[in-house]
Structures are given as structure tokens and as C-alpha cells.
Structure 1
Amino acid sequence: MVDRTKRPAEIPISPLVAAPVVSITHDNTRVVATLPRGDRVEILLFGANALSWKTGNGKEQLFLSDKAILDGSKPVRGGIPLVFPLFGPAQESHPATAKLPQHGFARNVRWEYLGKTSSESFAIGKEASDASVKIDFGLSPTEIDDKFKSAWPYSFGLTYSITLSPDELSTSLQVANTGTEAFEFQTLFHTYFATSDIASTHVTGLESNGFINKVPSPKQTAAANEPIKFSGELDRVYTGAEKDIIINDNGKPSITIKRNELPDVVVWNPWADKSKGMSDFGPEDGWKKMVCVEAGSVEKFSRLEGGETWEGQQIIKAHL
């Protein structure tokens, strides 16, 4: 027997690397992504709507009406509906979108699931705490109904990416003009955030911005120079916002929203009377548990010439 006093050390066996998991539900209507530490996002293919986003501690960060219609017959009340190519009701002053439904068609059609890109932690012996996963969805004229093609007859391609990271959710939209004729559009992430009590919720980061106050009727209003607090129905469009937006819940920051190429922010809560008039809004007092803070480009229409692209992004960080 040979005594190998200088034999090489044994090669260590690396533990299995925890990785994000992405799956499609058995009925082919939803995509679900989960990180090793428990963060989870669930996206309905109809509208590419993120219905639920839970952080690693299991806390739900989004509000979804318990009466929301999820069968594809109408837009979803809650989550993150995607507004494109029109914000609000049709405008006679803008003939190109005058025949579209309110908030356009992106939230009214089924998107194509394009796949995932994930990153994993390779730190031996440590939890994969930096793992993340990006899920891509696509929409083009081939996925929309003839009524929408007739109302908005342009060649376009949309790529919508949702990236789930620890305590963070990013949504980005790339708009491409795939034709030769220029078109104009507006877009917005109509995000419904969950909050413990709207009466103790306030929003900061918009103090120095003027806004269009839509209640009771649209009116340009000067900067309030104070946090946004809620004591009744509120529907405002803040324009040219430059700072990060912070939602404060019970006096503590709960959500920070960073934005790229999205200069406008809509803040909305329907309060009691208006929510009662919405057949798909529930529970009856659900308005107390939600606030919409919506990053977008809606004050003006963005114009894309043939072959050009545009991209906007919001990054949402949860603190609680």
C-alpha cells in the first residue's frame, strides 16, 4: 500500500443552490414566481396584471378587490393594471385615441408570456438572499381584438418586464414603433397598494409639485407644500415629479417608489361613496385598506417615429 502523504485535499461538494421558481398555473391563466426567501408575485396573463406581491415575511403589498373580475371579461380592479396607449377617458382633442376605451386596451387583452431570466446566489453555505427573477410579457397587434386594431391601427410591440427581488418589485414597459407611421401614446402603472388604514396613511415626495385636482372637476392647482393626507375622495395628477415617492403607513415609511422616464404621478382613493358605486370593488370598506400611487407619463402624449423605442420603469421597495 502506497502512503500518499501529499495527496490532494478532497474536493468539497457544493450544496444545492437555491434558485427562483417560475411556474404557469394548470389553467394557463397565471404566472407565479417565488424566490428562495419567500418573496412571491402572481401575474394574470389577462392584462399582464400583477395581482399579488408578497415580500419574504409573507406580507401582501398590493390591494386586490375581493369582487375583482378575473375571467378576462373586464379589467381587473386592483393589483397593477397597465394603462396604454391612453390615460383616462377618450379625448376628442386627440383623434388618434378617440375611439379607445378608458385607459386604453393593454389591460383588456391577454398578453403572451415570453419567459424568465433569473439570478441566483452562489455563496456557499449562505441563503440565496440576492436571488431575483425577471419575467417578460409581450403584446403586438396580433394579440389584440379587431375592435382595438380598428380604433388604434398602428404597428407596435410592447415588452413588459416584472422583476422580483428581495423586498422589491420592478415593472418596466418598452414601447416600440415597428411600423413607418408615427404614433403617440400615454402610459401608466395603475398600482393599488395595500395599507393598514387610509386615515393614517400619507404620501411624501410630491410636496413641491403642482397637480391637476380631478375632484370635483379637473382644475390646475398649485403645489401644496405638505404631505398628501386623506380625509375624503382624492384624485390628483402630479406633473413633473422628480423626487422618490414614499408611502407612509402609521407614521412609518412602508413603500418607496423610484421612477425612470415616468415624470407624472397619480394619487387616488375613491373613499366610501364612490367605491359603493363600483360593482367590482370590495369589501365595502376596502377603500380604507388601499391607496393608488401610479407612476406614468400622462400629462402629454409621447411620440414615436417609425423604428423608435421608449422605455419607462418603476422600482418599488417595501420597508415593512
Structure 2
Amino acid sequence: MVERANRPSALSATPGLAPQPQVTFSDDNSSVRAVLPTGESVTVLLHGATITSWTDASGSEKLWLSSSAHLDGSKPVRGGIPLVFPVFGTAPDHAQTASLAQHGFARSSRWEFLGKSTSESASGDGAADLSAKLDFGLSAAGLSEEAKGKWSFAFNLIYSVTLNRGSLTTSLVVTNDDEKAWDCQVLLHTYLRVKDINEVEVHGLDGAQYVDKVDGAKTKSQSGAVKITGETDRVYTPVANGPVTVAEGGKKTFTVTRDNLSNVVVWNPWTDKAAGMGDFSPKDGFKNMLCIEPGSVSGWQSLEPGDAYEGAQTITYHS
């Protein structure tokens, strides 16, 4: 055998792919969880396609979830990000949705997991930023018999949850699969976690008209930042499609950007309202949450047969 002076050395390890996002089901197949290699995670309950957790790389939770929230499918989830469709609140004067329960049926129906996808982009420091996208679907065939009896139109919903380093994007595509037109409203009912509601200010709504549901649905105009000092339930129509930011103690903590969603609901139940809700706990939990809810709820989206409507939000957190 002839010895080769410059023969290649053996490889110490077989090269492989860089770490990828991991997507797993819970043991009972009730939820789906995505985790990025850097540690960020999101958990989506198939009941309502409700996001129940969103954490940063250190495991710090960004959403507020009631400790007595129903996660077994028996009731809509109190906290996280529930979906509102096809009606916001109740609409007794709107014939198509008059008989539906509060906030419609999307948040109380079991959705189908349609699949996952990942993407990679170069970040400013030369590293690769990975993201994970989870898709969920709901159609008329997936509704309960009770819901079908109250809203008999054919439809298709595709809900996408995209986890990035530092942000979370949720988008909903609504398609009319019926032979006749129907109306709908859409809202992303986001419960953000805060440290102390008394230190919170909401910026980006200055000059916006809003309906004050705590004060007889009077129409008012916002002046300056929004501060939460009592029960708050307002439907804002911002003058521009700019971002809404949440600051705590003067430091920006969240930025919410909207795509094709003309309204922003700001909600906090405060003391008495929280005390009266059986699934809201701890009862002083209102001190640690604020709902910033992008939606299209001041009027109706009217979809002709075959038409589609899409709305989305991106929430970015600031460390």
C-alpha cells in the first residue's frame, strides 16, 4: 500500500442543517406549539385557534391569560389572543348575526391545523433569523349544529400565526363560499401582559374618534396618550394607519401595527367588572393586562360570493 503524504484527514463530524424551529402537538392534541432555535415560543389552542402563550427567548410571557381560563373547549378562552368573527359583541339589529352569541363562533369552534412552514432571513449582525408560521382553518362544515342554525352561510377562514424573533404576526383571511352575500366583523382580541396598569400609556391614538362603551356609547375624541384609570372599553378609529405603542413607566414595551384593520379597541375591566366575571382571575389581574385589539368592527365587511377579506396585526415587544 502506498502512503500518501497529503491525504485528507477524516471529518470530525458530518455537517448538518442549522437548528430549525420545532413544532409539536400537546399530548392530548389540543394545542400546537412552535419554538425557535433562539428560544421564542408560541402556543395555539385548537379550540378557537386561540393563542394562549407567547414568550421571548428568556421565557418571559408577553400575553396575559386568566388563571381560571377554560382550556378544555367548554367556553371561549379568557386571555391570550381569541378571534372575533363574524360579529363584535352582539348586533341585535343586524339580521344576519342577531342570534349569535357574544363575539360570534370563531373563538368557540375547534379549528383544523393546516400545517407549518419556516423561513430564514439575514439579520443585521450576519446571523440568520428564523421564523415559524402555523396555519389553521375553519369552515361551515366545522361548526356545531347550534352555530350552523344561527349563521347558515358558507365561508372559509384561514388564520396564520407567524413567530419571529421579537415579534408575532397574526392574520385572518375570510372568504365567502356562499351563493349569496353576507356581512361580517373581525377582531384580534389581544391581551397584552403589563407590570402595572397604573404606569401604562397608549400612544398613537391622539386625535382619533372613539365610541366610549362605558359612557353610554358616546362618541368622543382622544387628546394625548390613553391612560387607564378605571373601567375602559373604547372603539377607536385612528386618523391614520400608524402604529399603536404601549409604554410603561415611560419606556416603550409593545408596538402594534395593523394591516387593513381600521379600528383599535382598548379594554380593561378594572375592579368591579373583573370581580363579576367568573373566568377572570386573579381578580386583581386587571392590573397586569391591557387589551389592544385591532379589528374591523365600526361597520360591516360585505362580501359578495367568492370575495375575500384579509386583516392582520404584528406585535413587536421591546426589551
- Give the Cα–Cα distance (whole angstroms) in 1 for the partners of residues 42 and 82 of structure 2: 14
Larger deviation, residues 161-170 vs 142-151: 142-151
Distance 1:4 1:182, change over 3 A: farther
The answer to whether structure 1 residue 73 and structure 2 residue 74 are counterparts is: yes
1:41 match: 42
1:136 match: 135
- Give the Cα–Cα distance (whole angstroms) in 1 for the partners of residues 82 and 249 of structure 2: 26
After the TM superposition, which segments of 4 or more aligned residues of structure 1 sit over 3 Å from their partners? Answer: 1-5, 7-16, 120-123
Q: Match of 1:274, SS?
A: helix
Q: Are the equivalent residues in 1 in contact too, given 2:253–2:318 (CA < 8 A)?
A: yes
The answer to whether structure 1 residue 255 and structure 2 residue 254 are counterparts is: yes
Q: How many residues align?
A: 314
Amino acid at match of 2:89: G
Q: Match of 1:288, SS?
A: helix
Amino acid at match of 2:130: A
Amino acid at match of 2:75: K
- Give the Cα–Cα distance (whole angstroms) in 1 for the partners of residues 122 and 264 of structure 2: 38
1:243 match: 242
Shift of residue 122 of structure 1?
9.2
Q: Match of 2:129, SS?
A: coil
Shift of residue 90 of structure 1?
2.8
Give a deviation string over 1:15-59, Cα, whole Å, max 9, x none: 541100001111010101100000001111000000000011221
Q: Match of 2:75, SS?
A: coil
Distance 1:4 1:210, change over 3 A: same
- Give the Cα–Cα distance (whole angstroms) in 2 for the partners of residues 150 and 3 of structure 1: 81
Give a deviation string over 1:52-75, Cα, whole Å, max 9, x none: 000112210000000111111111
% identity of equivalent residues: 46
Amino acid at match of 1:107: R
Shift of residue 304 of structure 1?
0.7
- Give the Cα–Cα distance (whole angstroms) in 2 for the partners of residues 310 and 236 of structure 1: 24
- Give the Cα–Cα distance (whole angstroms) in 2 for the partners of residues 25 and 13 of structure 1: 32
1:51 match: 52
| 1:48-197 equivalent positions in 2, closer than 5 A | 48-92=49-93, 94-120=94-120, 129-197=128-196
Shift of residue 233 of structure 1?
0.8
Shift of residue 180 of structure 1?
1.6
Give a deviation string over 1:204-246, Cα, whole Å, max 9, x none: 0001211001113211112x22000011111100014521000
Give a deviation string over 1:260-302, Cα, whole Å, max 9, x none: 1001000011111110000000112100000000000001100
- Give the Cα–Cα distance (whole angstroms) in 2 for the partners of residues 308 and 89 of structure 1: 24
| 1:167-316 equivalent positions in 2, closer than 5 A | 167-222=166-221, 224-240=222-238, 241-316=240-315
Using structure 2 for the length normalisation, give the TM-score. 0.94
Amino acid at match of 1:228: V
Gaps of 5+ in 2: none
Q: Are the equivalent residues in 2 in contact too, given 1:17–1:121 (CA < 8 A)?
A: no
Give a deviation string over 1:63-101, Cα, whole Å, max 9, x none: 000011111111110000100000012322x10100100
Using structure 1 for the length normalisation, give the TM-score. 0.93
Amino acid at match of 1:135: L
1:18 match: 19
Give a deviation string over 1:129-176, Cα, whole Å, max 9, x none: 501010000000111011211211111000000000101100000001
Distance 1:177 1:9, change over 3 A: farther
Q: Are the equivalent residues in 2 in contact too, given 1:18–1:121 (CA < 8 A)?
A: no
- Give the Cα–Cα distance (whole angstroms) in 2 for the partners of residues 3 and 59 of structure 1: 57
- Give the Cα–Cα distance (whole angstroms) in 1 for the partners of residues 121 and 266 of structure 2: 37
- Give the Cα–Cα distance (whole angstroms) in 2 for the partners of residues 2 and 24 of structure 1: 54
- Give the Cα–Cα distance (whole angstroms) in 2 for the partners of residues 80 and 172 of structure 1: 12
- Give the Cα–Cα distance (whole angstroms) in 1 for the partners of residues 300 and 8 of structure 2: 67
RMSD across aligned positions (CA): 2.0
Q: Match of 2:96, SS?
A: helix
